[in-house]
Structure 1
Amino acid sequence: MTEILTPDAVAFVTELQRRFRPRRDELLAARRARQAEIDRTGTLDFLPETASIRQSEWTVAPAPADLVDRRVEITGPTERKMTINALNSGAKVWLADLEDANTPHWANVIGGQQSLYEAVRRTITLQQGDKLYALHPGPLPTIVVRPRGWHLDERHFAVDGSPGVAALVDFGLHFFHNAAELLARGSGPYFYLPKMESHREARLWQDVFTTAQELLGIGYGSIRATVLIETITAAFEMDEILWELRDHASGLNAGRWDYLFSLIKKFRAFPAYTLPDRGQVTMAAPFLRAYAQLLVKTCHRRGAYAMGGMAAFIPNRRDPGVTATALAKVRQDKEREAADGFDGSWVAHPDLVPICLEVFDKALDGAPNQLTRQRPDVRVDAHDLLDVRTTEGEPTMAGARANIHVGIRYIQSWLNGNGAAAIDNLMEDAATAEISRSQLWQWLHNGALLDGGTTPVTRELLEQLIEGEMAMLGPDYEPARRIFEQVALADDFVEFMTLPAGELID
């Protein structure tokens, strides 16, 4: 810890907190105001005041050499063993996740920074029994770090009597310790920015980047940021987000679970936005197709990279049939992304790297990316992005049970310090619990009917299903059950599961 929390590092992060925490707080208030507007109107649209940005021609800064080819990116927490395995995976990029795949116990926060410090310098090792984990001598993936979102505080880094902004703690410590070292090694300080809801939030990151580079004497534009478009509001501001970050932007990412969670959260008051079982809502749904193709078109028009979503499957060593079926679905999903023009995609397990590489190798045909595919054929309007009604499927009892099963199990893992949990052959992160609990909340409060209209979703039904799940899980899961019920059954929608859950960790 002393190697990370040095006096100079603490002073640097403290300065960022003092300069930018007030603006962060204003932007969170703006989120609440926008939610009130959605509650009133029941709709969203592209911003009329930024039409000139969408209509004019401009591009982001050219990508540095080690971010030109991103055909497969492996994601995972910064725990030492997973750090080493990710860096040895053969992927082009490692998304070092300080956010959804990492429980913010203070030991995890600082331990993750230590892993990054040693990974950048290629000194990271781990001895477990007779086995030594170490980096192989060849080329390693480019490191891209995902800090926590703007909404989270870090009480272990208080400044002037108030909790620090977690995003600034994560960004600041990594940038302070590793920016100059990365540049000296021919790379740079690269970031994935999560949970953004507007271009104003992107502007705040732009100002943080500019200030951080000035304070440490790092050249302007050394930072590169890829933004996760994982909120429904951000989907209407892709051009504007890239514009605000244009000197530091390198791309956008299209996911699924957090995006669906955001859709449910923003339109929670409107039954017309009720979704079927989450497992039935694939990226083939019309509103998700519109979102993904608009992202590709926007990125390539602006010279930025379009990154696809997560393949979360974990191979099952005991059941080759399950593995073969799942890998076929992974391949199909990656082929869809490549055909749409994405420049690369995410995997959660090293065994999936070869499949993703094979698919994108074929699609790229010797090129490092698909920036030349401009997609003028794509025409997406607000109706397309919000066309939830045409999604095939329905809410089912099996889906309700699955949401409870996965949600409680993941929250317990999270509370125990493991933010990347293997559940039912999938690598799950916090987005798993969010979509699980928000879907149940939506069904409960919007009068959903399960299994073709035979069973109404009531509080009593969900409580019975939770009791049935707890009978199998046992009393050790009681803390997770309490959190799950709090965020799934409450009268008011809790903004993020991690807020009440975070109060229970050190």
Structure 2
Amino acid sequence: MSAVLQAQPQPAHVLQRLPGQDALLTPEARAFLADLHRRHEGERQARLGARRARQQAFDAGALPDFRRDTAAIRAAAWRVAPVPAALADRRVEITGPVDPKMVINALNSGASCYMADFEDSTSPTWENLVAGQQALREAVAGTLQFTAPAADGAPGKQYALGPEAERAVLIVRPRGWHLDEKHVEVDGERMSASLFDLGLFAFHNARALAARDRGPYFYLPKLQSMEEAALWDAVMADIEARLGLPRGQMKATVLIETLPAAFEMDEILHALKDRVVGLNCGRWDYIFSYIKTLRRHRDRVLPERGQVTMVQPFLRAYSELLIQTCHRRGAHAMGGMAAQIPISGDAAANEAALARVRADKLREVTAGHDGTWVAHPALIPLAREVFDAGMPGPNQLHVARDDVHVEAADLLRPSLGTITRAGFEGNVEVCVRYLAAWLDGNGCVPIHHLMEDAATAEIARAQLWQWLHYADAGGEPLHLDDGTPVDFALLERAFIGLPSRLNDRLRMPGASRVNEAIGLLDRLTHADTLADFLTLPAYERLD
């Protein structure tokens, strides 16, 4: 078969047509993508198979641990390649989707970096993906403009990029290894969403960014092992060779947002050591992964999301181990997301929310993090103020954190807490509202003054499943703090009341798909096995 492919290579086949996409998906670009697929899809499938086998072991009672076969990597003295000048100071990074207005506002926001997100904050409709790639291509070229729709007879507001020297540094996050791109096929197979997102962006922009010493730079999501990191390294080396770039030109920051990856931070850095510049505490996905990985362990059930904060011992251990590991190897240790958004019309509530953000950023800079994330531009001045005061230099690579001693048990110790009725119903509401918006094409949704994305919806969905299936192996169900059993009758009551509770929010994103979202969540929570990702079955409903 390989001989046939080499003799008669066909470009990637695009199954849907949108105006303007031919300028992106040229024959040359489609041939480039097809070659990436043929070279790396086999290894991607092998890595996904290893994930499934690992999870089966955890479901059977095993616990994550540091690998014996890589002990020499953890013990040896080595460092990653030097961090490029454009990424030396990353004290405040803003994240968000890739629509043109967001791209302009984020690059103009005053943040150090902007993570343009094709993953958790973008609903991967074909229209969103094409528009996002077009917007980033124009942003790199410096030509991106956007005009908002006219309203109430007034002309739409104009948006344009500021001077290049004042823009945030662009970092792109492709989708994770587990996701396919159903609109693009190679040899009759769906293409990897990861390879599509990163490959298409690199094809059009890598040379231009390299010429300006601006990358290209990437955030790599949801890795679980050093082998998955090595696959990314091979992909980037392949792209560099194809585009005539020096090896190591493409740089990566890895999100440590799965529980298995927390046990392989040294190994992940080592697998990418010629191009990695840091690790990031992807806290929301990490909490979701903790729940998913330990879903069958009755002694490790977490309380409701609001009680699972970064001061909990297992999350503090994860954060401090990441700082120690990164600084030992010469890499940045990035902090986590502040998801709060301004609360208009309630000064007291807004001040309380800002106080929580300030305390969280103070914890991060004091612990030794080299930067942090915010979801809203209004939080940039606050986060910068805290990091300016606590980090006068460009980073804190000199903070070794030799005082940190983390064992496997520290990373696995669950939080103590409760499940309240408000917490249970809040999980249902967040998951339904987010999923309805996602199905409607919106992947970044303000709910109760928090900017929710797929990661936070996954926490809600995974907690509901674990709580409701707690008694599967026999024994008593969990109970709310008021004594009510956590069972499917409780879930049904939450579903019944939800549409009426949302009646006053009929203009919310995805309002027309609330019933569809309820039906999907109902099926997922009743399933005997927790689905790996909410977005996998939901993706089949897009477009």
SS, match of residue 455 in structure 1: coil
Match of 2:429 in 1: 405
Give matches, 1:140-179, under 5 Å.
140-179=167-206
**Aligned twin of 1:358:** 385
1:489 aligns with 2:509: no
1:176-255 matched pairs, under 5 angstroms? 176-255=203-282
In structure 2, the CA distance between the partners of 1:302 and 1:34, relative to structure 1 (3 Å rule), is same
Say whether residues 1:349 and 2:376 are aligned partners. yes
1:456 aligns to 2:485 (yes or no): yes
SS in 1 for 2:481: coil
Aligned position for 1:307: 334
Change (3 A) 1:445 1:453: farther
Q: Which residue, out of 65, 74, 78, partners 2:85?
A: 65
How far the C-alpha of 1:489 sits from its partner, in A, is 2.8
* Corresponding residue of 1:384: 410
Aligned to 1:125: 145
Match of 1:368 in 2: 394
- Paired AA for residue 64 in structure 1: P
What is the rounded CA distance, in whole Å, between the counterparts of 1:329 and 1:452 in structure 2? Answer: 25
The equivalent of 1:466 in structure 2 is 495
User: For 1:87 and 1:485, how far apart are their aligned partners in 2?
Assistant: 39
Residue 149 of structure 1 contacts residue 193 of structure 1 at CA under 8 Å; is this kept in 2?
yes
User: How much identity, in percent, do the aligned residues show?
Assistant: 52
339-348 or 29-38: bigger deviation: 29-38
Moved more, 456-465 or 191-200: 456-465
Whether the aligned pair in 1 keeps the contact of 2:61 and 2:297 (CA below 8 Å) is no
Q: Deviations over 1:275-299 (max 9, x none)?
A: 1010110000000000000000000
Q: Answer whether contact 2:302 2:416 (CA < 8 A) is retained.
A: no
Secondary structure of 1:450's partner? coil
Query: Is contact 1:42–1:270 with CA below 8 Å preserved after alignment?
Result: no
In the other structure, the counterpart of 1:498 is: 535
Q: CA deviation at 1:470?
A: 2.3
How far did 1:453 drift? 6.3
Q: Which amino acid aligns with 1:396?
A: T
- Give the letter aligned to residue 102 of structure 1: T
Residue 16 of structure 1 and its aligned partner are, at CA, apart by 0.3
Assess if the C-alpha contact under 8 Å between 1:195 and 1:230 holds in 2: yes
Aligned residues of 1:410 and 1:432 also touching (Cα < 8 A): no
1:3 aligns with 2:27: no
**CA distance in structure 2 between the aligned counterparts of 1:205 and 1:330, rounded to whole angstroms:** 33
- Contact map agreement 1:74 1:347 (CA 8 A) in 2: yes
CA distance in 1, matches of 2:398, 2:257: 25
The answer to whether the aligner puts 1:109 opposite 2:135 as a matched pair is no
**8 Å Cα contact 1:91-1:141 kept in structure 2:** yes
Which SS does the other structure have where 2:190 is aligned?
strand
- Is 1:418 paired with 2:418? no
CA contact (8 A) 2:219 2:255 kept: yes
Deviation string, structure 1 residues 59-101 (Cα, Å, up to 9, x no partner): 1110111000000000000011111111111000000000000
- Could you tell me how far apart the structure 2 residues matched to 1:337 and 1:66 are? 22
Aligned partner of 1:296 in structure 2 is 323
The offset of 1:473, in angstroms, is 3.0
Q: Write the distance in 2 (CA, Å) between the matches of 1:451 and 1:417.
A: 34
How big is the shift at 1:207? Answer: 0.4
Are the counterparts in 1 of residues 181 and 193 from structure 2 also a CA contact under 8 Å? yes
Q: Secondary structure at the match of 1:318?
A: coil
- For residue 462 of structure 2, give the secondary structure of its aligned residue in structure 1: helix
- The residue type paired with residue 266 of structure 1 is T
- Tell me if the contact between 2:470 and 2:478 (Cα under 8 Å) persists in the aligned partners: no
Q: RMSD of aligned C-alpha atoms?
A: 1.1
2:239 aligned partner, one-letter code:
A
**SS at structure 1 position matched to 2:172:** strand
On the 8 A contact 1:410/1:421 being kept in 2, the answer is: yes
Q: Per-residue deviation at 1:487?
A: 2.3
For each residue in 1:363-391, what CA deviation from the matched residue of structure 2 results, as whole angstroms up to 9, or x when unmatched? Answer: 112x1000000110000010000011xx2
Supply the distance in 2 between the matched residues of 1:488 and 1:306 (Cα, whole angstroms): 35
**Whole-Å Cα distance in 1 between the matches of residues 420 and 117 of structure 2?**
33
Rounded Cα–Cα distance in structure 1 between residues aligned with 2:482 and 2:375 = 36
Query: Which one-letter code corresponds to 1:426 in the other structure?
Result: L
Secondary structure of the residue that 1:403 maps to in structure 2? helix
C-alpha contact 1:42 1:267 (8 A) present in aligned 2: no
Q: Map 1:322-333; keep pairs closer than 5 Å.
A: 322-333=349-360
Unaligned runs of 5+ in 1: none
Q: Distance in 1 between matches of 2:489 and 2:481?
A: 19
Match of 1:55 in 2: 75
CA contact (8 A) 1:412 1:479 kept: yes
What pairs up with 1:12-91 in 2 under 5 angstroms? 12-91=32-111
Distance 2:87 2:348 in 1: 36
**Amino acid paired to 1:379:** H
Q: In 2, Cα distance between the equivalents of 1:126 and 1:194?
A: 29
Between the aligned partners of 2:213 and 2:274, the Cα distance in structure 1 is 19
Contact 1:397 1:450 in 2 (8 A): no
Distance in 1 between residues matched to 2:142 and 2:448, nearest whole Å:
34
Q: What does the per-residue CA deviation read over 1:275-332, in whole Å, with 9 as the maximum and x for residues that have no partner?
A: 1010110000000000000000000000000001101111022222221110000000
Instruction: In structure 2, list runs of 5 or more residues that go unmatched.
Output: 1-20, 472-476, 504-510
C-alpha separation in 1, matches of 2:496 and 2:284 = 26
Letter in 2 for 1:469: L
Identify which range, 242-251 or 258-267, moves more after superposition.
Answer: 258-267
CA positional deviation for 1:452: 3.1
Tell me the number of residue pairs that the alignment of Structure 1 and Structure 2 aligns: 503
Partner residue in 2 for 1:335: 362
TM-score normalised by length of structure 1: 0.98
Secondary structure at the aligned position of 2:22 is classed as coil
For 2:175 and 2:146, the matched residues in 1 are separated by 26
